[in-house]
Amino acid sequence: MQESKQNKKYIRYITFMAAFSALAYISVIFLKIPMIVFLKYEPKDVFVILGGLIFGPLFTIFLSIIVPFLELITVSSTGIIGFIMNAISTFFYVLPPVLFYAKRRSTKSLLYGLIIGTIVLTVVMIMWNYFLAPIFFGYTREAAVQILVPVILPFNLIKGGINAVLILLLYKPVTNVLVKSNILKKIDFEGFKNERKIITSIVATMLILTVIFVILSYFNVV
């Protein structure tokens, strides 16, 4: 009985993962808006967070890889470096609100998580652009530094802010509709065993890699 319930849970999990991946991917194709210089906004992180608020933090980590990978093999012109930057951007932005909300399901927790997610996104993307922009654009390190504050910083603050507003407006209505229509069930809101340990390990690894690459870049090792 327990095994059957778990199998059903996995099937629903994978099904919804495919659905949210498709929604996020479609938003990349049809809702991309030019913003600052070469940077464009698309609301895919909104769908990633909405899925994570329902299915948990591990769900967002999977989507953070799946959606950028779909972009890489279909519409992206930025190659593997664009994929890396895309995945990192989504990963660091979506996890804070989902983790905060998983701990305490309230609008206030979600708001705090979105604010922290926007700050983390902005700081981390400055660090990763410092490392990867010279490789991707062929800039000198000094030239890459020149775009961090006037371009990278405001873009990510604006992007995080827009996503936050959309999520706060959409989460409750979307969830209520899905629950009332019996598309979402109680089993969908339950997490998986050892999920927290897995997430902690992944986050720690990503933070360590970020610091290592920035240090190597600073000393011109890479």
| CA–CA separation, 74 and 11 (whole Å) | 26
* 65: nearest Cα among 42, 43, 48, 40: 48
| CA–CA separation, 66 and 69 (whole Å) | 5
Q: What is the mean pLDDT of residues 136-141?
A: 77
For residues 40 and 4, which has the higher predicted lDDT (pLDDT)? 40
* pLDDT confidence of residue 20: 92
Q: What is the mean pLDDT of residues 140-169?
A: 91
Q: What is the mean pLDDT of residues 155-164?
A: 95
Mean pLDDT (the chain, rounded): 87
pLDDT interval class at 219 (50, 70, 90): confident
pLDDT interval class at 3 (50, 70, 90): low
Predicted confidence (pLDDT) per residue in 92-138, tens digit: 999 999 999 988 888 999 999 999 999 999 999 999 988 888 887 77
Q: Quote the radius of gyration of the chain (alpha carbons, Å).
A: 18
pLDDT of 1 above 60: no
Q: Within 13 Å of residue 92, how many CA atoms lie on the same side as its CB?
A: 23
* 59: nearest Cα among 70, 68, 48: 48
Are 28 and 44 spatial neighbours (Cβ–Cβ below 8 Å)? yes
Q: What percent of the chain has pLDDT over 70?
A: 95
Q: What is the mean pLDDT of residues 202-208?
A: 89
* pLDDT confidence of residue 112: 94
* pLDDT confidence of residue 185: 79
